[in-house]
Amino acid sequence: MGFFGKFREEHKVQSFVSRLEDANHKFRADFLMETTFHLNAAKKALQDIQNSQLEYKLTAVGWDYITKLCSELKIKLLRHGLDQMVRDCDHIAEYAARMSGRSD
């Protein structure tokens, strides 16, 4: 695979992690549109990773970090009764936990 193919793979993984970080760090209960946008983008990026079978690009430590981000975001979402977003976080966290067990 050439340089650009490897770059696209890395970009998909980085996009997933950064969107989830943004959803967590930029959470504001009075402006949920931004958090919703980032969480939906993270879900889409995870789907792209799954479709491209790029899960191996993240190590167990990386998947554990994803699980930690989801846990932190879930706590914030639960405080404000945002059940659908909590389910989205749970879905990502469960997948990350499965992948963590498979990695290194």
pLDDT at residue number 52: 86
Lowest mean pLDDT segment, chosen from 15-19, 38-42, 70-74, 97-101: 97-101
Q: Where are the domains of the chain?
A: 3-102
Measured distance CA(8)–CA(79) in Å, rounded: 37
- The string of DSSP codes covering 14-75 is HHHHHHHHHHHHT--TT-HHHHHHHHHHHHHHHHHHHHHT-GGGS-HHHHHHHHHHHHHHHH
pLDDT, mean of residues 60-68: 94
Nearest Cα residue to 79 out of 43, 45, 28: 28
pLDDT above 90 (res 76): yes
